[in-house]
Amino acid sequence: MSPASPLLRAGIVLATTLLPLSVFASPLRLQLLRCDSSITDIPELSAQTFEQRTTYGLAQAVQLEKDKAQVVSAGDLDGADLLVMGKMGRSGTKFRLVYVLQTNHEPKLHTQLTYEFSTPRLGDRGVTVMAQDIITSAVKLEEARKTQAAMLQPAPAPVVASAPTPTPSPAPVASTSTRRSPIPAPETSSESLLDSAPEETSRMRQQPLIVVHTGLAGLWGNGTKNFGLGAVIEPKWNITDSIAAGFRFDGGFTFGSSISQEQVSASLGASVATLTKGEYLFGDSGVRPFVGLGAGMYILMGQSAKATQDGAGATQEAGRYFGVAPQVGIDFGPVRLAATYNHILGGDFVVRQDVSVGVEADRIQRNYFQLELSGRLFKVNGPRNRSIPRI
């Protein structure tokens, strides 16, 4: 045999070894194990319909990605590489759908996909897109399982050569090596994974990560019985689903008058507030009451005049003050209703002018009350908020 033959054989073996494994890899075998639903009053979201729509979506997604996955029958548990389980329930005014994916071979790994939607049906496009997400996540999960399994494989035992002996049949020499057994992954049943899914997802973010509320407010200046109109804008960061921090900017004007046989009086006021604010929301979904507290600077301006048979008087006042603004309200999601009381504590710059001829004008009241209706102008959802695309 020529000297090049061993070289040629080694090259062929090396080339064969380095060929991409995807050429020989078979599609991932998926099995839909079960689908549960706690929604009983909407037939389109029942457990039976949920399973049928999921099966349809998987069939459509497999047709689009035949090289990645295939669906095996429910009775062939040993023939599946990855198990898929689904659970559906309510999340306030919305519906929540959770898919739990678990590898069928050791080491057992699992992950989950969560969706929220408001339309009480599962459309063809929606279930197909979700099934494509399932296939993509399943392939990644199986690759991670194979990587961990390779890392847990015991190292090959070193071969210990035996010394030559004069006996015709040398006895085999036993090799002494310590093998480390792979650490078994903790066993987790599919039922326990699926049952734990609602508790796990109930802690997901309901509020947007960043939100800006803006709206109109009715003003009432207590004491002078002034009424008016204003506007408010509140950019906030929702630190958690219950705690928010941000700013409050509002402005408005008030006007009041009184006419009787003895006297005539009128007053006019304007206010601008720049506050830092914190909020706490009660509950975890749907309609949520909340309380808030703001503190910061106020710019107030006012004028009042009064005339009687004994004379007349006028008062003008303007200044910069510090105050606090406790608030209570109800958050309906896109819209909220709130009541705020602005309590002025003191001023660091105040200008006051009084003019009177026999009669002093009424004192200008600084505290005022607001009843506001606002909505979301802008929001940024958190990284774990996810919705079904166009179901």
Write the CATH number for 103. 3.30.160.100
* Beta-carbon contacts of residue 297 (< 8 Å; ≥ 6 apart): 273, 274, 275, 320, 321, 322, 323
Name the band, by pLDDT with cuts 50, 70 and 90, for residue 224. low
* pLDDT at 390 (0 to 100): 41
Q: What is the pLDDT of residue 10?
A: 52
197 and 307 housed in the same domain: no
Is 214 among the domain residues? yes
Question: Rounded CA gap, 287 and 260, in Å?
Answer: 46
C-alpha to C-alpha distances, 325 to 60, 86, 339, nearest whole angstrom: 56, 47, 10
Residue 247 and residue 196 in one domain: no
- The pLDDT value recorded for residue 382 is 64
Same domain, 259 and 375: yes
Task: Decide if 272 contacts 295 (C-beta within 8 A).
Answer: no
C-alpha pair distances (Å), 298 with each of 176, 178, 232, 249, 274: 84, 77, 14, 10, 7
Give the model's pLDDT for residue 185. Answer: 42
Average of per-residue pLDDT values in the chain:
79
Task: Verify that 229 and 349 share a domain, yes or no.
Answer: yes
Residues 330, 194: one domain?
A: no
Calculate Rg over the CA atoms of the chain. Answer: 36
pLDDT digits (tens, 9 = 90+) for 233-245: 999 999 988 999 9
Phi and psi torsions of 348, nearest 5°: -105, -10
- 207-216 pLDDT tens trace: 788 999 999 9
pLDDT at 70 exceeding the cut of 60: yes
- Report which of residues 267 and 136 the model is more confident about: 136
Q: Among 178, 177, 205, 185, which residue's Cα sits nearest to residue 114?
A: 205
Confirm whether 6 is domain-assigned.
Answer: no
Per-residue pLDDT at 193: 58
Task: Encode pLDDT of 78-104 as tens digits.
Answer: 788 889 999 999 887 788 899 999 998
* Helix axis angle, 47-64 to 124-152, nearest 10°: 70
The Cα–Cα gap between 52 and 99 comes to: 14
Residue 317's pLDDT is 84
Does the pLDDT at position 166 exceed 70? no
Same domain? 230 vs 367? yes
Mean pLDDT value across residues 57-61: 91
Strand runs labelled E in 192-310? 210-221, 226-238, 243-259, 263-281, 288-308
**Bridge partners of residue 248, in order along the sequence:** 275
83 within a domain of the structure (yes/no): yes
**How many domains are contained in the chain?**
2
Where residue 156 falls among pLDDT bands split at 50, 70, 90?
A: low
pLDDT digits (tens, 9 = 90+) for 367-378: 899 999 999 998
For the entire predicted model, the pTM comes to 0.49
147 and 259 belong to one structural domain: no
d(CA 387, CA 197): 17
- Average pLDDT in the 210-237 region? 88
137 and 54 inside one domain: yes
- Asked if 79 contacts 72 with a C-beta cutoff of 8 angstroms, the reply is yes
The CA-atom distances, in angstroms, between 117 and each of 89, 123, 193, 288 are 11, 12, 22, 19
Position 260 in a domain = yes
Average pLDDT over every residue of 172-198: 46
Question: At 198, is the pLDDT very low, low, confident or very high (cuts 50, 70, 90)?
Answer: very low
**Structural domain of 376:** 210-380
In a domain, 79, yes or no: yes
13 falls within a domain: no
On the question of pLDDT at 22 being above 70, the answer is no
Domain of 249, CATH number, reads: 2.40.160
Q: Residue 384: its pLDDT value, please?
A: 47
pLDDT tens digits for range 106-155: 888 989 999 988 888 898 988 999 999 999 999 999 999 999 888 887 76
Sequence-ordered list of residues with C-beta below 8 angstroms from that of 56, at least 6 positions apart, any chain: 124, 127
**10, containing H or E segment:** helix 4-18
Distant-in-sequence, close-in-space partners of 301: CB < 8 Å, separation ≥ 6:
269, 270, 271, 317, 318
At residue 292 the predicted structure's pLDDT band, cuts being 50, 70 and 90, is very high
Quick one: average pLDDT of 186-213?
59
Domain shared by 197 and 274, yes or no = no
What single DSSP character describes residue 1? Answer: -
Long-range contacts of 165-168 (CB under 8 A, 24+ apart): none
Q: Could you give the 3-state DSSP secondary structure of residue 47?
A: helix
Task: Identify whether 351 is part of a domain.
Answer: yes
Q: How far is CA 373 from the centre of its chain?
A: 24
pLDDT number for residue 200 = 40
Per-residue pLDDT band for 206 (boundaries 50, 70, 90) equals: low
pLDDT of res. 5: 56
Chain segment 171-184, per-residue pLDDT in tens: 444 443 334 444 34
Q: Find out whether 360 and 313 touch, Cβ atoms under 8 Å.
A: yes
Residue for token pair 């326990």: 192
* 163 confidence band (pLDDT: 50, 70, 90): low
Same domain, 320 and 215: yes
Are 91 and 230 part of one and the same domain? no
What type of residue sits at position 41?
A: D
Confidence band (pLDDT; 50, 70, 90) for 7?
Answer: low
Residues 247 and 318 in one domain: yes
Instruction: Decide if 180 is inside a domain.
Output: no
